[in-house]
Structure 1
């Protein structure tokens, strides 16, 4: 197959390096085997430049020899965490940091693992298959679950994807990220020159958006604000935690508003979130979790059972499922829609955009700034994610400071009273139920789980039950944008060449290289997509779809979407058949541990 190369200059989140902390007793949290976990899973690369190489195996024996050669290049969580801490320490002491790094990680499709493990020692072929049905089937076969277009000639139909469609599935995904575009280019050239037993199907470049748009996605909203924290320690020391604890009001938070999640939700072999327990309690031998089958909602499918999360094969420990989606963004069309709807309602396009997204362009949440953008709030890492929906949160007093002395105080927390309180928003009047951030992370809002598991409880009790279930749906997002910055704005929408549909003859579009890690594709990524983003009855009946990424297939293939948005003059219904986030590629992969990689090339 002819290799396709797609060049883009684009945005990526600003690196937030991790740091060690003091004064924390995390002895109940497990010590993670960081020398075995791949570094983009935990803590994440967070580099400004990226290349994704999509490979197909053409000779298994030669491929195994190549895997043996490349395994020393695979960055571990231990290496990435150590680098991030060094970077943060240098920047704190000097005001800048000059250290740079280039990282490589690898992941495999189910089909690739079947081929690579065939006929290998019993240690690898232990008779246990992967438990997750979505991983075994592959993304293209799950188009109905994800809401992707079912009409064959529709752009988002898997048959038209650049990568990952029927007969065009990648078997190996290499992720290469760097602080330097030149270092990235040199590393990619070196890796390609050493390939054996595989062919390159697609080379995809991405990069952080420049200057003032750094950390934003192509629609120009700040992205990646609400990431979960990961419980666990880097060593036996009781305060050597993976996620720094920066909220003295709540030991279950990293930054204020950042819930800490048990690592088994993201990496196999560790305790996970048990919704029958408080969020700070780990799973145990009596724990068991299931998730609804998106193709038959009355059927419950197993997710985890016992004290730790398990992939199926014994060698799955310290591995993680990787979901990739190549999402084209039609920026001009999205901006034009928001602009038109805003003019009809007599409000600013910025406010209409904030209602649809849940945050202003700067990243400031509607929950703390209802009427106008608040860049200072957005820049404050101790404030921009510190809110709930069911419960109210008070005026920030500036007390949320990290207990460590290694780094600056969490971006400089607010002076007393500088940020408005976040009122309870149980009816979605402030941050609509259909807003992107509320659909994807309802926080303490009432959900179906709360109603089903606690039907006779008070709303307060249902909120607690709902949130316990919500926290087990979290994912670790590691996406980067691709393609040139659009000239379009909310005030002055403009479509250009890069808003047009992509094809192999002219792959000059723009969008997001979405990557996320989890230990249950069906219970995390697919659950979020099917039961939340694409569900017009979540979190409340009849409210509509997420208008940013939500998808819907009508009986005859129509793609009509509707959403209810409360404004001061009343609730308005936004209806459109237009789409501005279109899948153009994807795949389900497994990122194995370093020891598992050695098993894959055993005997080569």
Structure 2
């Protein structure tokens, strides 16, 4: 779920492996807890208008109690609305790491409960997750009941539509990523202090493999193409006190292992309950090239300027305007007031009494990104909750420079550090990417792949329905505007599992 952190927050991902050698440096004592821990006077969390509010600590506690959830055992990055500002680190392990996991890391892990009230928020948030290789290195041999997690993301490279590992960050294409540490705060200095302090405490039990830094964009809540992100995240029973109109309501077990709604609950070990699988993908965005494509192919229609035609094409590719307003409710022009209103910006199904759901694309193309990954009425009502995921991504990289904009060419990498939580990656993220986004015949025959995240191993993508004046017109995309740089599948354990299983 999405933590909405201060717009000054920066994120970093650092991956390490206990199989490699090398010591890490030191810094101030980050590991102060309880009465000794520095307290915040202002909240880490921000609240972009387009996104639903987080529940209060009191409301979330009441909802959790009614559902039988223990928010004190659930890591805070899972059941929050993580916005764009997170810091990711990966930890590997060796024999010396296990006791440090319990003594140095566990006391610092931020729970869901802690993040909901400024009085309990830490200066720097810390969460942790492990890959299958990481669990194996910890000598945890019980299966978590998900084959895609067990095999790792590299084994899924063709399934996900990636054109081989050439574009992947080399560390993701190797075998040394055992885990990820996620740090978050409102200043870079806080993050750096926390990282250095923890590295010093862990000593040579870990080795840094890779790091990725991200930061909020000037318009809070947007990704690099300029669109509001995370609006469609579901409400989770046991956490969300009052779901909003149109918000996808899912059982806790769709996101949390072992809870009601986890379709593989019987295959899970008892210690994994209330953990969640974390999918990480580094997605490079070709922003100047995307903008040039829109400028070169504006939708031509009476009453539209060329710029408005380009904006409309982009909105129809995404399924929302940059403000977050859905094209299903605002089919020709952006409506910022609608986009900023979380009581309205999700309250649609793609079904209208004056149009045939199975053939009409006047309002929203069948291939639009938000329709591909949440088809709503296209698959009937009520919606099946099994495919739901909780997205927690963050942008990385600098803003587009004047030189890049003038040349229409990306020279500095930027994109999205995609993070999503779910109880079943095979049913969730993996299925969404393969069977929906990359499938030209989903949910209607011949519509093409998702024009934003769909990938056909580098092949051209032919899409219908982007032109509202003639749904038979095809659009050929010769460039993937999003390029996978690789990633990994992780498991974010409950705090209790660290004591009972992972550190012993």
TM-score by length of 2: 0.82
Change (3 A) 1:341 1:493: farther
**Corresponding residue for residue 441 of structure 1:** 374
Contact 1:332–1:488 (CA under 8 A) maintained in structure 2? no
Residue 243, structure 1, aligned to residue 240, structure 2? yes
Paired with 2:244 and 2:430, the residues of 1 have a C-alpha distance of 27
Q: Deviations over 1:10-38 (max 9, x none)?
A: xx98484322688x997995221111111
Residue 562, structure 1, aligned to residue 462, structure 2? yes
Aligned to 2:96, the other structure's residue is in SS state helix
**Corresponding residue for residue 297 of structure 2:** 341
Residue 130, structure 1, aligned to residue 144, structure 2? yes
**Corresponding residue for residue 38 of structure 1:** 75
Contact 1:39–1:45 (CA under 8 A) maintained in structure 2? no
Paired with 1:171 and 1:30, the residues of 2 have a C-alpha distance of 33
**Corresponding residue for residue 55 of structure 1:** 91
Q: Choose from 175, 179, 189 the match for 1:172.
A: 179
Contact 2:284–2:485 (CA under 8 A) maintained in structure 1? yes
Q: Which has more radius of gyration?
A: 1
Cα deviation for residue 328 of structure 1 reads: 0.6
Of 373-382 and 563-572, deviating more is 563-572
Q: Choose from 378, 394, 399 the match for 1:480.
A: 394
Cα deviation for residue 488 of structure 1 reads: 7.6
**Corresponding residue for residue 317 of structure 2:** 356
Contact 1:45–1:80 (CA under 8 A) maintained in structure 2? no
Q: Choose from 318, 321, 346 the match for 2:274.
A: 318
Paired with 1:310 and 1:29, the residues of 2 have a C-alpha distance of 23
1:249-264 → structure 2 map (5 Å cutoff): 254-264=243-253
Q: Deviations over 1:184-227 (max 9, x none)?
A: 222122122222311011121111112xx111000011111111
Change (3 A) 1:310 1:317: farther
Paired with 1:163 and 1:359, the residues of 2 have a C-alpha distance of 34
**Corresponding residue for residue 148 of structure 1:** 162
Change (3 A) 1:525 1:115: same
Cα deviation for residue 269 of structure 1 reads: 2.2
Paired with 1:367 and 1:162, the residues of 2 have a C-alpha distance of 41
Paired with 2:347 and 2:282, the residues of 1 have a C-alpha distance of 30
Change (3 A) 1:594 1:20: closer
Contact 2:64–2:70 (CA under 8 A) maintained in structure 1? no
Q: Choose from 583, 599, 603 the match for 2:484.
A: 583
1:493-508 → structure 2 map (5 Å cutoff): 494=406, 499-500=410-411, 508=412
Paired with 1:2 and 1:342, the residues of 2 have a C-alpha distance of 54
Cα deviation for residue 336 of structure 1 reads: 1.1
Aligned to 1:352, the other structure's residue is in SS state helix
TM-score by length of 1: 0.69
Change (3 A) 1:13 1:186: farther
Paired with 1:181 and 1:54, the residues of 2 have a C-alpha distance of 18
**Corresponding residue for residue 468 of structure 1:** 383
Aligned to 1:135, the other structure's residue is in SS state helix
Cα deviation for residue 377 of structure 1 reads: 1.0
Q: Choose from 248, 257, 262 the match for 1:268.
A: 257
**Corresponding residue for residue 533 of structure 1:** 437
Paired with 1:314 and 1:441, the residues of 2 have a C-alpha distance of 31
Paired with 2:431 and 2:447, the residues of 1 have a C-alpha distance of 18
Aligned to 1:195, the other structure's residue is in SS state helix
Aligned to 1:61, the other structure's residue is in SS state coil
Cα deviation for residue 385 of structure 1 reads: 1.2
Contact 1:267–1:319 (CA under 8 A) maintained in structure 2? yes
1:83-102 → structure 2 map (5 Å cutoff): 83=118, 101-102=123-124
Q: Choose from 161, 165, 187 the match for 2:169.
A: 161
Paired with 1:20 and 1:52, the residues of 2 have a C-alpha distance of 25
Aligned to 2:191, the other structure's residue is in SS state helix
Aligned to 1:219, the other structure's residue is in SS state coil
Q: Choose from 197, 200, 209 the match for 2:208.
A: 200
Change (3 A) 1:542 1:13: farther
Aligned to 1:223, the other structure's residue is in SS state coil
Paired with 2:21 and 2:463, the residues of 1 have a C-alpha distance of 42
Aligned to 1:472, the other structure's residue is in SS state helix
Change (3 A) 1:198 1:600: farther
Change (3 A) 1:316 1:28: closer
Paired with 1:384 and 1:185, the residues of 2 have a C-alpha distance of 37
Contact 1:335–1:488 (CA under 8 A) maintained in structure 2? no
Paired with 2:198 and 2:488, the residues of 1 have a C-alpha distance of 22
Q: How many residues align?
A: 449
Contact 2:90–2:179 (CA under 8 A) maintained in structure 1? yes
Cα RMSD over matched residues? 2.9
Change (3 A) 1:25 1:117: closer
Of 26-35 and 215-224, deviating more is 26-35
Q: Mind listing any 5+ residue stretches in structure 2 that lack a counterpart? A: 1-19, 23-45
Q: Deviations over 1:408-457 (max 9, x none)?
A: xxxxxxxxxxxxxx9775423211001011001111213xxxxxxxxxxx
**Corresponding residue for residue 398 of structure 1:** none
Q: Mind listing any 5+ residue stretches in structure 1 that lack a counterpart? A: 4-11, 88-98, 119-124, 233-241, 246-253, 274-302, 393-421, 447-462, 501-507
Contact 2:57–2:117 (CA under 8 A) maintained in structure 1? no
Q: Deviations over 1:389-414 (max 9, x none)?
A: 1356xxxxxxxxxxxxxxxxxxxxxx
Change (3 A) 1:540 1:49: closer
Aligned to 2:105, the other structure's residue is in SS state helix
**Corresponding residue for residue 548 of structure 1:** 452
Aligned to 1:131, the other structure's residue is in SS state coil
Paired with 2:289 and 2:56, the residues of 1 have a C-alpha distance of 41
Cα deviation for residue 324 of structure 1 reads: 0.2
